[in-house]
Amino acid sequence: MTYAAKNLTTGGRELIAFRVGDQEFCVNIMAVREIRGWTRATRMPHAPSYVLGVINLRGAVLPIVDLSARLGMKPAEPTVRHVIIVAQVKSQMVGLLVDAVSDILTVRDEEIQPTPDISSEFEKSFARGVLAIEGRMICLVELEAVFPQEEREAA
């Protein structure tokens, strides 16, 4: 299971939770390299609509993806309150525009419930499960499924 890091001391998986619109998602904390404030991106011609552009991250060109648009939701209108989660997706670094980071979670495998059958095929392609924690429903996202190889190369 590549979608979450094992924490050997607690027997759980460490995930980072964040908000996109009015929904909560989480990803493997081991994929996250840093969290930074919103930085205006330079648009790239012919980029997919969910790619906001690129920024200079300590000399490296980092594509910035509107995760809301990529997940089929209403495109974000970035403000100073938005954050960029810099994540490693296989060999590519990607900046994920999200509304806010909300938590670092440690969960056990049995707490991850399967994605409901009523979900669309698109949702099932990136959703690896759902967590019900403290009255919240948090979708566990597999970043490699959100950005297939050919799309990472385009970004």
Q: Tell me the CB-side half-sphere exposure of residue 151, using CA atoms within 13 A.
A: 15
pLDDT of res. 152: 44
pLDDT digits (tens, 9 = 90+) for 24-60: 999 999 999 999 999 999 999 999 999 999 999 999 9
Kindly state the percentage of the chain with pLDDT values over 90.
66
Which of the two residues, 84 and 147, has the higher pLDDT score? Answer: 84
Q: What is the mean pLDDT of residues 67-95?
A: 94
For 143, list phi and psi in degrees, rounded to 5.
-60, -35
Answer yes or no: is pLDDT of 119 > 80.
Answer: no
| CA distances in angstroms from 141 to 8, 41, 57, 70, 138, listed in the order given | 22, 24, 24, 12, 9
Do the beta carbons of residue 23 and residue 139 sit within 8 Å? yes
Q: What is the mean pLDDT of residues 11-18?
A: 89
Specify the pLDDT at position 2. 36
Query: Among residues 101, 95, 105, which one has the least CA distance to residue 130?
Result: 105
Quick one: which of 99, 78, 92 has its CA closest to 35? Answer: 99
Instruction: Choose between 133 and 155: higher pLDDT.
Output: 133
CA 132 vs CA 52, 106, 110, 114, 125: distances in Å? 31, 13, 11, 11, 20
Q: How many CB atoms lie within 10 A of CB 84?
A: 25
Query: Is residue 122 over pLDDT 90?
Result: no
For residue 85, give the amino acid letter.
I
Over the chain, what is the mean pLDDT? 86
Buried b (16+ CB within 10 A) or exposed e, 95-125: bbbbbeebeebebeeeebeebeeeeeeeeee
- Most confident range, picked from 51-65, 103-117, 140-154: 51-65
